[in-house]
Amino acid sequence: MHRHTEDRPRVERAESADRLPAPAPVLGAAALDVAGAEDEAGALAGSEEPRDVGRVVGEVAVHLEDPVGAVLERPVKARDVRRAEAFLPHSVQDVEEGELAGEALGQLAGSVRRRVVDHEDSRAGVQAGEHISEPSHDRLEVRPLVVSRQADDYAHPRIIARVAQTLPSNAQLAEQFELLADLLELDGADAFRLSAYRRAATRIRESAVPVAQLALDKKATRLSGIGATIEGKIVEYTETGDLAALAKLRGKLPTGLVDVMHVPGLGPKTARKLWVELGVQSEDDLRAAAEQGRLAEVPGLGPKTQERVLVSLAKPKKAVERKTLLGRVLPSVDEAVEELRSHPAALQVSEAGSVRRRRETVRDLDIIATAADPAALTAHFAGLPWVAEVVAQGSTKATVVSHDGLRFDLRVVPPESYGNLLQHFTGSKAHNVGMREEAVTRGLSISEYGVKNMETEEVFTAATEEELYEFLGYSWIPPELRENRGELAAAREGKLPKLVELEDVRGDLHSHTTWSDGRASLDEMVATAKELGRTYLAVCDHARRLRDGRLEQQAEEIADVASRTKGLQILRGIEVDIRADGSLDTSDQVLSDLDWVMASVHSGFDRERAELTRRIEAAMENPHVDCIGHPTGRKINRRDPYDVDFEALLEKALETGTFLEINCQPDRLDLDDNHARAAAEAGVKLVISTDAHRVHELANMRLGVAQARRGWIAPDQIVNTRPWREVKKLMKKQ
Ligand SMILES: [Zn+2]
Ligand SMILES: [Zn+2]
C-alpha cells in the first residue's frame, strides 16, 4: 500500500505534460482516410484464448505455475517501468534531432510512434517540414502515404518524400509472438519454446510502455519473461515489419491452419494431420471436408469428431475477446483518477461504469469529472505518458488507450449535474431502467442531465448522487448493488444491508509460500500481511508438496518466524486436494495437528454433476476440513464453474459447519457474487481469502471484498472479520 503512493512519479509526469507545445496544424482529410485504411489493413488485435495444453496435466499445472501471476505482477512491474520513465524521453533525445521533427520530448507516446526517419526530403524537393505536421493532441499518425497523397498534387512527385516510421503497438507485437507460437506448435516444436513465446506475448500486450521502443533501446529485457532472443525478435519486427522465423514457417505451413488448430476439439496434431491427409489449409477447407464426410474417414478421428467440428464451425464466432479482469485494471484506474485529481483544473473526479460497480470483468474504463477548466483537464489526460493512443479528444471528453490496451473514457461534466451524470454513467443499465420505470409512475422522467417533472416541466439536477437518490425517494445505493437485483425496493424501504468493507477484514486464511508453489518466503509473506494490517495469516501450502517430513520442517520455520513476529499470528494451515472419490490427500491424523484446513478440487472437473457434488460433500463431512477453497472451480476466460448441485453443497455446508471461500485471485473470484449471496442467504459462513502466491497478491483482498459486497454480504457473514480466537469458536468441533 505504502509502496503504491511512493511509486507514483506524478511530479515528473506533470512536468513533461507542461512542456507540451501548442498543437501543430491538423492534417487534411486525405491524411485521415489514408491513415484509416492503413489501420484496417494492419494486423487485427488477435486475442486467442490460450488453449488447454494437455487437459489433466494442464489443470494441475494451472495451479502450480499460476500463469495468472504474470497478470498479477503487472501493476507492480508496470509501475517499476513507469517509474524509470525518464529514460524513455532520454532515449528519444539520443536520436538525431532531424529525426524528431520538432516533436515534444515529453510526449512519450507521440514521439515514439512518430519518429520520423528523414533521408529523402532534401532530394525530393518537397517542403517536408510543412507536410510532416505534428499534431500533439489529436495524434493523427503521420505516415508515408499521407505525404504521398499530398505530394500527388505536385507534378511528378516522388512517391515517398519522407518515411515516417511507426513503431508497432504492443498488441501488434504480441500477435506476432502468438502466431509464431501457433505455427511452431503446428510444426511440432517443443512445448518449452512455445510457452516462452506465449508468455512473452502476454507480457508485451500488458506492458504499460511501448515495448518496441524499449527493445530498440535494448531495455526490453527488463520486463520479466523477455530475454535477449525475444528482444532481438522485437527489434527485427520493428525494423523490418516481419520475422525471419515467421517467414520460414509460412513457407512450410499454410497460415490458415492456425484457425483449424484453434477449432475446439482439434489442436495442432490433428490440424497437421488434416492438412497432410486431406489438404485442409483453412477453416473453409475444414468445413467442406466435414460436410462431405471426409473428416470421419481420417484414422483416429471418426464421425463423432466430425460432428463436433461441424457444430463448432456452425456456432457464430463469439468475439474471442478475452474479458479484462477487474484485478488487472483497478490499479490503473486508481492511478488515472489520482492523476486527474492532482491536476489544478480538476474539482471532482470519480471512476464510473462497471469498474465502479466492481464487476469481475470490465470493458471500457469510465471516469467522470468536474473542472474549472475542462479543456485543460482533457488535454492533460490525453498527454499522460502512459497513453499510447488518443482516440478522441474534445474540450469535455477524451478517449485514450494505454500501452497495455486499456481504454479510458473521461467526461468532464457541469458541477450542478455531477450527481445525475455520475449516477447515469455508473449504471448498470438494468438498475437505471428499473429506476426510470419507477419514476415514470410518479410523473418523473429521468435522463442523465436531470429529473423532469412531467407536469410542471421543472428539471431537478443534483450535484451529488446522494441528492439524486434522495429526491427519488431512495437511500443512497452502493455502486456494487446497482444491478437491479432488488436494491431499488430495499433502498426505498431503507433496508439495504450494511456491506462488508476491506477495513473489516482481520486476517487472511489462505496463502502459499515457497514451501509449495508460492513465489515468496514465509518471512516475506508474513511481513507483507502485517503491513496490510492483518492480525493473522494462515499458511496453506499444498499438502502434496509437504510430504517426507517437509510439513514438520515447515512447522519449525513457522515457529521461528512467529517468535520474531509481533502483532500477527501465523496459523499452521494446509490446502489439501479433494480426490476423485471424495477422500483427501492427507490423513486425518496429520490434519488434526493443524490450525486450519482448506480443501479444494484441483483436477477432474469434467465429471458428472452428482459425482462432483458427492465428492465435495464428502470433504465437508471430514471433521478437520474448515473451508472449501474456490468452491466452483471456475477460471474467468478459461473455465466455467463445474457442474455441481450448489444447493446441495449449501445444505451440507450448513449441516457440517463448513465454510465456503470467496477466493480473491482475479481470475477466480470464486464464489462469485451470485453464489456468495445465495450462500450467505442460506446462512453459510464465508471466508474471503487471497490464496496469495506472491506478496503483492495479499492485497487482492479488496477484490474478494468487492465480490462479497456485490453479493449483499454484511461483515458478520464473513468469518475472517473476526479476531482469530473468535474464528476458532465458529470452527467445527473435532
Ligand atoms: Zn487451490
Ligand atoms: Zn491455494
Using one digit for the tens of pLDDT, what is the confidence trace for 194-206? 888 998 998 898 8
DSSP string, 302-350: HHHHHHHHHHHHHS-----PPPEEHHHHHHHHHHHHHHHHTSTTEEEEE
Ligand nearest to the CA of 629: 1
Cα of 641 from ligand 1 centre, angstroms:
14
The answer on 693 and 558 residing in a single domain is: yes
Q: Is residue 681 part of a domain?
A: yes
Answer with the residue of higher pLDDT: 191 or 504.
504
Asked if the structure places residue 177 within a domain, the reply is no
Same domain, 94 and 140: yes
Mean pLDDT of 289-301: 87
Q: How confident is the model at residue 734 (pLDDT cuts 50, 70, 90)?
A: low
Is 274 within a domain?
yes
Number of domains in the chain: 5
Q: Kindly report, residue by residue over 44-90, the tens digit of the pLDDT.
A: 333 333 333 333 333 333 233 333 333 333 333 333 333 323 233 32
Please report which confidence band the pLDDT of residue 302 belongs to, taking 50, 70 and 90 as the band edges.
Answer: confident
Is residue 333 included in any domain, yes or no? yes
Q: Is residue 12 part of a domain?
A: yes
Q: How far is the CA of 542 from the centre of ligand 1 (A)?
A: 8
Residue matched to cell numbers 477453497: 629
In eight-state DSSP terms, residue 671 is S
Task: Kindly indicate the confidence band of residue 534, based on its pLDDT and cuts at 50, 70 and 90.
Answer: very high
Q: What pTM does this model have?
A: 0.69
Q: How far apart are CA 162 and CA 119, in angstroms?
A: 7
CA–centroid distance, 512 to ligand 2, in Å, is: 6
- Give the Å distance between the CA of 629 and the centre of ligand 2: 7
Which CATH number do you get for residue 398?
Answer: 3.30.460.10
Q: Using the mean position of ligand 1's atoms as its centre, give its distance from the Cα of residue 631 in Å.
A: 9
Q: Which amino acid is at 601?
A: V
Of 110, 129, 164, at which residue does a domain stop?
164
Residues 534 and 438 in one domain: no
705 CA from centroid of ligand 2 (Å): 18
Is residue 188 in some structural domain? no
Going by pLDDT thresholds of 50, 70 and 90, the confidence category of residue 192 is confident
Residue 697 has pLDDT above 50, yes or no: yes
Q: Which amino acid is at 587?
A: S
Domain range for 466: 419-492
451: CATH: 3.30.210.10
* Cα 193 to middle of ligand 1, angstroms: 27
Cβ atoms < 10 Å from Cβ of 57: 12
Place of cell 509437504: 546
Same domain, 284 and 155: no
Say how many Å lie between the CA of residue 697 and the centre of ligand 1. 14
Q: Which ligand is nearest to the CA of 538?
A: 2
How many A from CA of 599 to the centre of ligand 1?
A: 8
Residue 591, SS3 per DSSP: helix
* CATH number of the domain to which 288 belongs: 1.10.150.20
Are residue 329 and residue 478 in the same domain, yes or no? no
How many angstroms separate the alpha carbon of residue 516 from the centre of ligand 2?
10
Neighbours of ion ligand 1 (CB under 5 A): 600, 629
One domain, residues 542 and 656: yes
The answer on 572 and 541 residing in a single domain is yes
- Rounded-to-integer distance, Cα 714 and Cα 478, Å: 13
Q: Are residues 673 and 711 in the same domain?
A: yes
pLDDT at 258 over 70: yes
Collect residues with CB below 5 Å from ion ligand 2: 575, 691
- What is the enclosing helix (H) or strand (E) of 453? strand 451-453
Do 582 and 527 share a structural domain? yes
Cα of 521 vs centre of ligand 1, distance in Å, is 18
Cα separation, 28 vs 17, in Å, equals 26
User: From residue 520, how far is each of 203, 267, 512 by CA, in Å?
Assistant: 21, 35, 8
Closest ligand to residue 516's CA: 2
- For residues 518 and 512, the answer to whether their CB atoms sit within 8 Å is yes
Same domain assignment for residues 284 and 363: no
Across 389-414, average pLDDT: 94
Peptide bond into 583 cis (omega under 30): no
The ligand whose atoms approach the alpha carbon of 692 most closely is 2
**464 compared with 117, residue with greater pLDDT:** 464
pLDDT tens-digit readout, 116-152: 322 323 333 333 332 333 333 333 333 333 333 333 3
User: 548 and 617 share a domain?
Assistant: yes
Among 370, 392, 412, identify where a domain stops. 412
CATH of the domain at 628: 3.20.20.140
Q: Is residue 193 part of a domain?
A: no
The whole-chain average pLDDT of the chain stands at 80
Q: Which ligand is nearest to the CA of 539?
A: 2
175 domain residue, yes or no: no
End residue of a domain, out of 164, 192, 208: 164
> Looking at the structure, do residues 534 and 657 belong to the same domain, yes or no?
yes
